[in-house]
């Protein structure tokens, strides 16, 4: 039984309390490794390590920091197959998805911010003959990064890369449900020579290590991605301490399909394929998945028929099989939660058009956490299934008759992360984009990402923005210096 280790002061070490928790493979339902249940004593070691390293890392020329981060990105790229397999085993996602999304984007995240550290600049404000102001953007010092289980290494690197690039030391907590790729990442940091103490990785539950990390006085900023309820709890702790924080939280994302986007058979085929992808990628376990699908009534029946057909064709199976398109959910508890919403949909008057059942995969995956991709019709916009984040392979479809109606339905939840509009009427797309209460609006696309752009949501979907300059600015403190001539 492999024991995962913490990464503190450049070394892989056991937790001081020698306590571990089981790490399950979702596809088999079996324990396959042990994860440290770190606590405040481990955190103190990490903080002391970061304290010793923070000045030299902050003072390092940006070109040298960039070279080290580039080496780290190269190491991720070289180890992409090992990382993809580890992600498929640890998370339950298809290995084909892990290759093209998780491994690829993790290396891209590091490489992007390795370049950004040499390009990041600040402002100068000329006061004419009176004087000049210039702005220094200096590292905060020690920052905490807490990442989720759905895209473990992808979102782990998405957080730590800008923190490191801007000169901070990082104490990172990956999800205890999917710790393996962060552990492999620790080994890569050692291999490429990341200085001791610059990044420390602590494993464990939110109660044992997450809460102490958030509360520690020497950790000056927190970047968190996860559930909205946890994010609100973190905010209640951090706000009185006047720490900086960024919260990327849940989503209940609408997809708006207008009839003009499906006017030919070829267009219908293309749009339906993308909407299926947006609803069920990673078993629906992406905060950006479109789980509420609204279709203009004149195209509703033909869209529905093809949509159900394509969802039903998704290949469910062992995540390590190359042909698998739909893997296991991340845990037994999460599978049961998702299934409870399918049962709730029936109670609320919904009709299951396809899916809706637990799945048994013969062979090694007989005890795995599989659910069929599920499409539900006939629910009101106000029902719980359409209001609460399920975070699984469940979507609802509804017809609409006007722009005003679909706008009200789309905006009608507490969430505001992302939305997609499918229409050839560019004026409509621009008009609706300004009125949709979401941090991200995709037009005739989904998950088309540019690392330079701000990423984040409105309302219960979070506070702050990640990505590009937004991330670099979050992880630095601006200081204005005024010089009188």
Residues involved in catalysis = 248, 287
**Tokens 């997809």 belong to which residue?**
255
Helices (H), ranges, 166-264: 180-192, 211-215, 228-238
- Strands 374-377 and 394-400, bridge-based pairing: parallel
- Strands 370-371 and 2-3, bridge-based pairing: unpaired
Report d(CA 452, CA 193) in Å as an integer: 27
Query: Helix 426-435 and helix 403-410: axis angle, to 10°?
Result: 40
- Strands 458-459 and 244-248, bridge-based pairing: unpaired
**How many Cβ atoms are within 10 Å of 354's Cβ, its own excluded?**
17
List, in sequence order, every residue forming a beta bridge with 170; answer none if it has no partner: 143, 199
- Strands 131-139 and 476-484, bridge-based pairing: antiparallel
Report d(CA 184, CA 186) in Å as an integer: 5
CB neighbours of 325 closer than 8 A, spacing ≥ 6? 94, 96, 314, 315, 316
Report d(CA 292, CA 303) in Å as an integer: 14
Q: Specify whether the backbone of 300 is left (phi greater than 0), alpha (psi in -120 to 50) or beta.
A: alpha
Q: Specify whether the backbone of 226 is left (phi greater than 0), alpha (psi in -120 to 50) or beta.
A: left
Report d(CA 136, CA 116) in Å as an integer: 16
Counting Cβ atoms within 10 Å, is residue 254 exposed (0-12), middle (13-18) or buried (19+)? buried
Helices and strands in the chain: count of H runs, count of E runs: 16, 25
């Amino acid at each position: 039984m492999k024991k995962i280790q913490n990464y503190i002061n450049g070394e892989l070490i056991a937790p001081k309390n020698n306590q571990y928790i089981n790490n399950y493979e979702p596809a088999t339902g079996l324990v396959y490794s042990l994860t440290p249940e770190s606590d405040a004593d481990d955190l103190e070691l990490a903080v002391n390590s970061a304290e010793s390293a923070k000045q030299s890392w902050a003072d390092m020329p940006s070109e040298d920091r960039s070279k080290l981060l580039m080496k780290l990105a190269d190491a991720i790229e070289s180890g992409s197959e090992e990382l993809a397999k580890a992600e498929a085993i640890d998370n339950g996602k298809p290995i084909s998805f892990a290759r093209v999304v998780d491994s690829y984007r993790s290396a891209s995240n590091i490489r992007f911010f390795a370049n950004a550290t040499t390009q990041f600049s600040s402002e100068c404000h000329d006061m004419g003959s009176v004087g000049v102001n210039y702005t220094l953007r200096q590292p905060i010092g020690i920052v905490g990064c807490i990442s989720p289980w759905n895209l473990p290494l992808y979102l782990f690197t998405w957080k730590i890369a800008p923190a490191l690039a801007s000169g901070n030391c990082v104490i990172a907590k990956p999800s205890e449900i999917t710790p393996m790729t962060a552990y492999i990442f620790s080994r890569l940091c050692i291999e490429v020579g990341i200085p001791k103490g610059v990044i420390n990785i602590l494993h464990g539950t939110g109660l044992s290590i997450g809460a102490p990390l958030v509360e520690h006085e020497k950790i000056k900023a927190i970047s968190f991605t996860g559930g909205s309820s946890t994010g609100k709890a973190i905010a209640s702790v951090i706000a009185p301490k006047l720490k900086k924080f960024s919260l990327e939280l849940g989503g209940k994302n609408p997809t708006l399909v207008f009839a003009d986007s499906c006017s030919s058979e070829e267009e219908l085929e293309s749009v339906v394929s993308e909407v299926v992808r947006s609803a069920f990628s990673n078993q629906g376990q992406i905060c950006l998945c479109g789980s509420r699908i609204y279709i203009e009534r004149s195209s509703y029946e033909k869209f529905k028929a093809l949509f159900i057909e394509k969802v039903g064709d998704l290949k469910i199976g062992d995540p390590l099989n190359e042909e698998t398109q739909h893997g296991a959910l991340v845990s037994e508890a999460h599978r049961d939660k998702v299934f409870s919403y399918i049962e709730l949909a029936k109670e609320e008057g919904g009709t299951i058009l396809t899916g809706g059942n637990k799945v048994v995969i013969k062979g090694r995956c007989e005890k795995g956490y599989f659910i069929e991709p599920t499409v539900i019709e006939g629910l009101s916009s106000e029902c719980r299934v359409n209001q609460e984040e399920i975070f699984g392979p469940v979507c609802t479809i509804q017809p609409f008759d006007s722009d005003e109606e679909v706008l009200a339905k789309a905006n009608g939840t507490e969430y505001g992360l992302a939305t997609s509009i499918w229409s050839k009427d560019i004026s409509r797309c621009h008009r609706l984009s300004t009125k949709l209460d979401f941090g991200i609006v995709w037009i005739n696309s989904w998950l088309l990402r540019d690392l330079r752009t701000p990423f984040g949501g409105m309302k219960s979907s979070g506070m702050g923005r990640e990505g590009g300059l937004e991330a670099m600015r979050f992880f630095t403190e601006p200081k204005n210096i005024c010089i009188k001539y």
